[in-house]
Structure 1
């Protein structure tokens, strides 16, 4: 195989967290349990919302889409990592690596946009309550989700197609637990200027624009809450967006840690990536279920029906 010939690239090697065989069973059990909790927790949220007509509102419509995106986001990386740990085979095919990158970017972008849309929903509900049913109509909600999906799919497709044009050297080792785009670009022998420009532009866009929208929404929300005369009214208004604010803080806090980490391939960098890609999607259902009475009641109904059917 000649270096620089893209067609000779058959697979990459994902080093993961540890090469020590003694650590592999611990890592497998840890990530398997987190993956199961993530999938089951988000599935319960989706079932609770879909089965309860009282939760067929814009806020819970966006929440169910966020839960679906979280399931897919985690599923792009963890199953392959578990398979590699179990088989003690670090390889991932070239096509599999590009595919993993694509879906990772798609659902990561979806998470970002959905959190922004949910902030806008809370802004309209608190700052313009009388116009809320008119503004946040089903057509607009569906359109917002479709636009978010379209932007995420388009960027991910462009970046993936740009990856296909690159040729790679003889070093095909990615010092990470998944095919991280920036790490893969470092292995390319051909010119990656266009790839890096697009990467930085979109990373800035996905980071700055949605976060600015969220920040603007909550600035107006806080201003409106402070004008409410009663303390009870302030508490009720704030409680409607407390869960979302917690998820946003967790998502952007861990996401920022990934991109400002000096060495993404170090143990610290990969730990921050786990927080971003695995822990955050796992905690989202708990945050929403523990802070939301409607979700609690809907979950209780779903679980009681399940137990009744089993009995």
Structure 2
């Protein structure tokens, strides 16, 4: 299995610091999570039948004509390569890189002819693939592709029976980038959305897939019955319908993302990202990761490709101060190393 952020148990074991003493910035998840409502008395007793209310709430929030609830977008990321293989055979797959590593891993694992391509080179590869996967905005770099370009690529791929998979897991603070509304009219366009990131409900394991009937029906059959728990359905409906919370949270996250980028810039770090994380291709990434960990600050170390560091948002003002102190220690450590060289 690939390594991901949020692996705080690894930090506890490796550095011998109690879990409660860590500042965990290793994910891009909103630290100010949605306050889950009380569950119905039978939430743990009843089998989780498919909820029309959940699908309707998702369509209204994401602007898609139809959506399939899934147990987190990871479920769809794992299922789509298998579904494509069963229905169309081995595909030539391009995955935009760097990106959430599970995409490339799962397409390759399924036996497809997969290659990773940088965002700048994607336009030159559309005609040479059957499936293209793009995270928009990208995790971890924050790279973006405009909707008109994505829709043009989708049309090119659809002309030969291809798919364009757009992972919009971090798209809640940039709704203008979403192409979910076009999934009903555009054949082969598949959009993934997540409740875990913006709503901060990663533990609920709830996501959605927008696409045409043929693809959604195939996914539904592949995933089988009861794929989304009853409690997740209830919490998801409440979160997706809470417009006031969404608007206030979007404003706060955008401000916090700008603050994080400014803080890093104060320490000479030129980062990019989204409202919920910042990333940069740190040349001494392993040393930075270790320096932060020795101060009980857990960050995301990327070792694949160009490598780098990603930081999520601190949960409170004390967290912001700890991060600033950690960055100061890193700067002093770096300056000492340079002077000693």
Same fold (TM over 0.5): no
Give the structure with the larger helix fraction.
Answer: 1
Q: TM-score, normalised by structure 1?
A: 0.24
Query: Could you state the TM-score of these two structures normalised by the residue count of structure 2?
Result: 0.22
Q: Which has the higher strand share?
A: 2
Higher RCO by CA contacts (8 Å cutoff, separation 6 or greater): 1
